[in-house]
A and B are shown apart, each in its own frame.
Chain A
Amino acid sequence: MMSKPKAQQPATIHKVIMVGSGGVGKSALTLQFMYDEFVEDYEPTKADSYRKKVLLDGDDVQIDILDTAGQEDYAAIRDNYFRSGEGFLCVFSISEQESFQATAEFREQILRVKNDENIPFMLVGNKMDLEDKRQVAVEEAQSRAQQWNVPYVETSAKTRANVDKVFYDLMRLIQRSKEASQNASGVKKPNSGKDKKDKKHRKCIIL
């Protein structure tokens, strides 16, 4: 069923999803990471995906970024986006308190859809260059991250501060989680022919 991947393309793909309210800078972060560019103007996203080859701790891997709409108002469709992700960057803007509050809902929805408390997930406070307009205190964000048991990182898509860091850190979390689930499954199922599908199923069933 699967055609063989081309030789030069790394087989491993990490699927990252950008979530967060509208205008917090998900697209800006993605574009900065992808193309080293900062976009000044705001154009609401519908759903874009990006693919890039990167070197992660000496290994060639691919990152697949799904940049979702903050404005989307149909939850059912969001479920479908979230299901396809292996790791999540949950972004808010430090200059907008509402966007921080919204992260709780995103987190909740992701946990419900993925059914996995340990899903690779990072809380990202963007627009850290706008220190003078800060509405969300570092401590406030950190305590929420702690409560969720996830890392908290502040970024700026404008200055590129910590942009690579959030993506690479998340990929490492994904990598680790894949290894863990492979080890767990290795014992149970030596049959590796269709492990791609199985893995998805397993995640659903764990509960």
Chain B
Amino acid sequence: MADGGLARVLSKQTFDPENFVNKVSQGGEDELDEMQKKIQRLADETALALKRNVYKHYSQFIETAKEISILESEMYQLSHMLTDQKSIISTMLEMSLTSEEVVTPGEMELELPTEDDVQSSLSILLEKVEGCSSMLEAPGRHLVHDGDLLELDPESLSPIRELRAFLLNDVLMLAAWLPHRRGLVKYRFQSLYELDNLAIVNAKDTGSMKNAFKILMFPDTRTFQADSPKAKRQWLDKFEETKKKKTARDKQRKDATTPDRSSITSPLDSSNPFTVDLEPSSPVSSDRPQSVAIEADLLHLPWLQELPEDLDVCIAQRNFEGAVDLIEKANDYLDGCPKSAAIREYRGRIEHRIQQLTEILMKELQISPERSIRGGPRAARRAVTQLIRLGRSAQACELFLKNRSTLSKYSLRQVKIEGNTALYVKKLCELFFNTMAETCQEFIKAFPDHFGCHAAFVVWAKQEINEFLSTFKSQVFVNKTPFAVVSDCVQEMRKCCDQLSDIGVELTFVLDCLMAEDIEKAIQDAGDNQMDAVRHRAMEDNWLPMNFQNVTALQQFENSMINLGIKNIHKYTFGECFTELTQNTIQFTKSYLPFLDAMMTIYSSQHHRLITAAFVDILEAQIRHAQVCARDTKFTKEVV
């Protein structure tokens, strides 16, 4: 390819564009032209090649992803088979009558499980339980025991739900059954309790309650029933054993970090790999104990140690601000610490409490039937503020707005339906837009500086208006509503909506868009009615001045015309009870002028043409009638 050389020049690492251009421009116009074409061709080719490459890699990428997923499922099967085999071996061990097995646990007790065990048991667990992964990812965590339990109401002892319980080396996880699940995921994460503060109670059988035990974890007291006495015994034993191991482990770790106190003899110390005999003044010599010591020291501040439990108490007391304060305090502190296993583990402890708190806060914002709807915006704002601090502004925003929607709908339902449509609609509009304004103000207070959320507000407001309009339309744009009432209602709504712009929300245009069709139809219909009336009256016109029979009636007529805006009506009256105007003209005036008023009330530039057309058509029809009459021989006497 002729351009190959050029491509090579251009893609040279040391390519100097200035120099290149200088050289090229010396050759004159033709050469420049030629060069331009060449470069253009080159650019096209490159683009094409690039595209092709992307596609080629894309299909490779998909292929790879497929491979990976196949590999993944194979790995899973493999690990499944391994655990099966393992359990077979362990049952065989149990069945064997030799005392071998009884001896080993004592020795194994302090040994940490091997990395493989940890990995496999935990990964299987992660796959079975939906929503637990983030919480369980702590180093060294492994499964000790699991089984099905029936949760009982702690008071009445009647069954509540079936659960799957997983005892890990430092926590207890409860998961709910997911019914009709075929795949790997069989359970949904429900709660996580740290063994440290978990109190287990053996509930003695009474009446219907058999094989039960309780778990006390402030503020929860939960009662569970095992399938059999043996299963219950196993749970209690495993709990005790695991808790003991954990305490031993913690103690060991603590001792390792406080070598000064190792002189206070403890049986564990002799076996403690981290305790080095030290002169009181000498610093810790080997690297590892030192780093362990530092990282554990970082965590051994009293306030930090008590923080998880303080957090529990705050949550139980619904002191949400306090809880979030604690969380922020902990996070601030932990952010300044080096990343290490101990810190990660500690973070995990905080993390699941954050989750718990978040759930409670979200519940605060959800309107439930049993909770009073008048919980008030302050309660909502409180929950929102804390959720924002927890970094959940999007959810907070969504829930907050949902909450407001429900509130708004509820208050609208409280408005009594009135016989008078205009009055009823007026009340609805005022209420709706007042609530909207309140929501807006609350929102600005609750989400200061969260501009992303403000967009959500606008979307929400639009939706609300749309919904409100369907109520509005069903009241206003129905066949029998007089046009004057329709236009009053529309005006009222626009007025209310305009008030929102005082606080920075401009929604009138949304309103107009959404109502445009209905308004057009209303205008059309009203105009048609006028036309019909004009034609109808024309047929009955006798072209005679009106006689009101007496002075009072004439007076009344004059007043009503003045009210309509015809101030010089006197010019057209004479005698005691006559007007020069015909019945037809009077009726037309009385109907056309209010129609004009209503039209101007409902007017918006959007409907300008339609409205003017209606005005003109009707007026023309009326004038045409007058012209026809003027030419009609029947009326030659009457026409002046």
Contact = CB atoms under 8 A, between A and B. Distances in A.
Nearest to A4: B156
B64 interface: no
A19 interface: no
B201 A9 contact: no
A3 B313 contact: no
Interface of A: 2-6, 9, 11, 13, 46-52, 66, 74, 76-81, 83-84, 191, 193-194, 196-197, 200-201, 204-205
Contacts of B331: none
Given A3-B160, A84-B216, A84-B221, A191 B372 contact: yes
Given A3-B160, A6-B156, A51 B370 contact: no
B201 A66 contact: yes
5 contacts: A77-B198, A79-B218, A81-B201, A194-B370, A200-B316
Contact of B199 (A5, A52, A81, A194): A81
A9 B156 contact: yes
Contact of A6 (B158, B214, B219, B221): B158
A25 B610 CA distance: 97
Interface string B173-211: 000000000000000000000001111111110110100
B359 interface: no
A139 B201 CA distance: 36
Contacts of B204: 48-51
A74 B194 CA distance: 14
B635 to A, nearest CB: 81
B240 interface: yes
Contacts of A6: 156, 158
Contacts of B206: 50-52
Contact of B317 (A48, A196, A205): A205
Given A80-B217, A193-B370, A48 B201 contact: yes
B209 A51 contact: yes
A1 to B, nearest CB: 9
Q: Is chain A's interface secondary structure helix, strand, loop, or mixed overall? A: mixed
Nearest to B247: A74
A80 B156 contact: no
B153 interface: yes
A3 B317 contact: no
B218 to A, nearest CB: 5
A137 B126 CA distance: 60
Interface in B201-253: 201-204, 206-207, 209, 214, 216-219, 221, 236, 240, 247
Contacts of A48: 201-204
Given A3-B160, A200-B219, A80 B199 contact: yes
A47 B200 contact: yes
Contacts of A4: 156, 158
Contacts of B236: 46
A157 B467 CA distance: 72
- Which of A2, A52, A194: most chain B CB closer than 10 A? A2
The 7 A-B pairs at the shortest CB distance, nearest first, are namely A5-B156, A80-B199, A47-B201, A80-B216, A51-B206, A49-B203, A77-B199
A78 B199 CA distance: 8
Contact of B202 (A46, A78, A196, A204): A46
Contact of B216 (A50, A74, A81, A197): A81
Contacts of A194: 370
B153 A2 contact: yes
B318 interface: yes
- Which of A74, A78, A84, A193: most chain B CB closer than 10 A? A84
B150 to A, nearest CB: 13
B29 interface: no
A191 B370 CA distance: 10
- Which of A3, A11, A13: most chain B CB closer than 10 A? A3
Nearest to A200: B219
Interface of B: 153, 155-160, 196-204, 206-207, 209, 214, 216-219, 221, 236, 240, 247, 309, 313, 316-318, 370, 372
Contacts of B317: 201, 204-205
A11 B155 CA distance: 8
Nearest to B212: A49
A46 B197 CA distance: 15
A200 B155 CA distance: 15
Contact of A46 (B158, B159, B160, B240): B240
Contacts, number: 86
A80 B160 contact: no
Given A66-B201, A80-B197, A49 B214 contact: yes
Given A49-B214, A205-B317, 20 more contacts: A3-B158, A5-B153, A11-B155, A13-B155, A46-B202, A46-B240, A49-B202, A49-B203, A49-B204, A76-B196, A77-B198, A79-B197, A80-B198, A80-B217, A81-B216, A83-B218, A84-B221, A193-B370, A200-B316, A204-B316
B201 A49 contact: yes
B196 to A, nearest CB: 7
A136 B371 CA distance: 55
A116 to B, nearest CB: 14
Contacts of B155: 2, 5, 11, 13, 196
Contacts of A49: 201-204, 214
Contact of A5 (B158, B200, B202): B158
B226 to A, nearest CB: 15
Contact of A83 (B153, B198, B216): B216
Nearest to A15: B221
A50 B212 CA distance: 11
A81 B199 CA distance: 7
B316 A201 contact: yes
Contacts of B157: 9, 51
A200 B156 CA distance: 18
Nearest to B203: A49
- Which of B203, B204, B219, B317: most chain A CB closer than 10 A? B204
- Which of B155, B197, B372: most chain A CB closer than 10 A? B155
B156 A47 contact: no
Nearest to A13: B155
Given A81-B216, A205-B317, A3 B156 contact: yes
A77 B196 CA distance: 8
A83 B219 contact: yes
Given A50-B204, A52-B206, A204-B316, A3 B217 contact: no
A6 B202 CA distance: 23
Contacts of B370: 193-194
A74 B159 CA distance: 32
Contacts of B218: 79-80, 83
A189 to B, nearest CB: 11
Nearest to A202: B317
A201 B314 CA distance: 10
A193 B203 CA distance: 28
A84 B217 CA distance: 9
B545 to A, nearest CB: 75
B202 A47 contact: yes
Nearest to A191: B372
- Which of B156, B199, B209: most chain A CB closer than 10 A? B199
Contacts of A5: 153, 155-156, 158
B194 to A, nearest CB: 10
A49 B218 CA distance: 17
